[in-house]
A = this chain, B = another copy of it.
Amino acid sequence: MRFPPLAEAEAPSLRELAEGFRSGKLSPAAHLAALEKRFLEVEPVLQSFVPEYRDRFARLRADLESLEAAAPNPGSRPPLFGVPVGVKDIYNVDGFRTQAGSRLPPDALKGPEAACLRPLRRAGCLILGKTVTTEFAYFAPGPTRNPHDPERTPGGSSSGSAAAVAAGLTPLALGTQTIGSTLRPAAYCGVVGFKPSYGRIPLEGIIPLSPSADHVGIFVRSVEDAGFAASLLIPDWSGSSEPLPRVFGVPEGPYLEKASPETLAHFREVCLRLSAAGMRLRSLDLFPDIAEIVRRHNTLVAAEAAHVHRALFAEFGSLYHEKTADLIRRGQEVDAAELKACRAGRLSLRAALEKRMTEEGISGFLCPSATGPAPAGLAGTGDPVMNLPWTHAGLPCLSLPSGMVGGLPVGLQFVGPFSSDRRLLKTAEGLAEALRARP
C-alpha cells in the first residue's frame, strides 16, 4: 500500500464539534488549523473536494472570523457554529461556481443558493467547499478515490461527500439520491447515509437530474448525527420521535439475490445479530417484479433528464460525457404516455409497500445497502440496484456501516414508511447499537 492512510475512524462527530464550538469547550480556529493539515495531507490523493483555485483555508479563516464577530459569546452561538460542511457540486452555493462534475461553461449552471442551505447558514456552518460529483449526478465519475482503498470507487454520484466524511475532512456533507447516489457511496465508504422521504427537503437550487426521483442526501458519521442534521434540514421536523416497533421485513427473492454471495452471507449474519438483540425479522417475498421496477425507474430518470437538459444539451452536447449523453438520448425517445406511467408507478409502488408493511406488521425493511463492497477501479461507481426500488417509492432510507466484506466496509439499509423520517432515525439508533454490541 503506497497510498497514505485516508480513512479516519477517530474524527469527531457532527454533534461533538457542534456542542464543543457552541459551549466554547472546543476552538473552531484550532479545529480549522488541524483540518488544514489533514486536508493537505490526504486531499491530493483523495480528491473529494472540487479545487478552489484560491487559498481555501485563508477563506475559511475569514469566514470564521465573520461568524465570530456576529456571535462573540459562546452562549449566543447558533447550533452549527463554525462546523464545516461539504456540499455536493450540484448545489448552487453563494460564492462558489457550480460545475456539477461537467465541462459546461462556468455560468451555464449558476443560480440562487440552494434553499436547503438556508437553515445550515443560519445555524452558523462553514462551507468547507464543493464536493466532487459524477457528471450531473449520473454515472460518469470524477477523480475521487475510496478512502478505504484508493484503487476503488467511493461510489457515486455523491462521491466526494461520502469520501470526505469517511476521511474525517468534514462531519457533515450533503449529496443527493436519484437512484442510489447517497446510500451506495455511504456504504462503500463506511459512513452513515440518509435519504429522507421524497419531498421532505426542498430541492430548489440543486441542478435536477430527475425531479420526480431526486432527493437530498445526508452523509455523517453516526445515526445520531443524521438525526441532528435532519432536524436542521427538514423544514417540518415535528411529529413523533418514538422508535418504530422492532419488527422488520427482509425482502427475499430476486431483489435480495442481486447482492453478492459474500455480501448476502454477511447480511444474514447481521440479521442473526439483530435477532439476538431482540429484534424480530420476517422474511417475505418482495419485488418479484424487480426487473420491471428497474426498467420503469431508469426510463423515468432518462426521460426527465432529457427534459431537464434539453436546452443545455442542445447548446453544449459535445461537452457531455458519453454516459450522460446516452442517458439523454435514451430519454428523448420516451413518449409522454410512458413517462406518465413511470411517474404513476412511483406512487403505486409506495402504496403497495406501505400496504405490505401494514399487512405484515413490520416497521420497515432491512437489506444490504449495495450489492457488495466498493468495486475495483475508478471508471465506474458501482451498481445502485439495492437502492433503486426504495428511491422509486420515495421511502426514507438509511445506510449504516454493518461490518467488513473482503476487508472493505459494507452497509445495512433500513427503509421505513413514507414520512416516518424522525421515527426511522430513532429506530436506527437501536439498530446501530445492536450492531455495535459485538457477538
Contacts and interface: CB of A to CB of B under 8 A. Distances in A.
Contacts of A143: 103
A55 B61 CA distance: 14
A373 interface: no
Nearest to A97: B44
A390 to B, nearest CB: 30
Interface in A262-296: none
Contacts of A106: 2-4, 44-45
Contacts of A3: 105-106
Nearest to A4: B106
A108 B150 CA distance: 13
Interface stretch (A336-344, A375-383, A413-421): A375-383
Interface string A138-152: 000001010000110
Nearest to A42: B53
Contacts of A4: 106
A318 B103 contact: no
A322 interface: yes
A54 interface: yes
Interface in A126-167: 143, 145, 150-151
A3 B107 CA distance: 8
A311 interface: no
Interface string A43-58: 1110000010111001
Q: Give the copy number.
A: 2
A2 B105 contact: yes
Nearest to A106: B45
B322 A379 contact: yes
A378 B432 CA distance: 46
A37 to B, nearest CB: 12
Interface in A90-109: 97, 103, 105-108
Contacts of A40: 53-54
Residue among A53, A97, A143 having the largest count of chain B Cβ atoms under 10 Å: A53
Given A2-B108, A40-B54, A103 B378 contact: yes
Contacts of A2: 105-108
Given A55-B55, A151-B319, 20 more contacts: A2-B105, A2-B106, A2-B107, A3-B105, A3-B106, A39-B53, A40-B54, A43-B53, A54-B55, A55-B58, A103-B143, A103-B145, A103-B378, A105-B150, A151-B316, A318-B376, A318-B377, A319-B377, A321-B379, A322-B379
20 contacts: A2-B105, A2-B106, A2-B107, A2-B108, A4-B106, A39-B53, A45-B105, A45-B106, A51-B51, A51-B53, A54-B55, A55-B55, A55-B58, A151-B316, A151-B318, A151-B319, A318-B376, A318-B377, A321-B379, A322-B379
Which 4 pairs of residues, A with B, have the shortest CB-CB distance? A51-B51, A55-B55, A318-B377, A2-B105
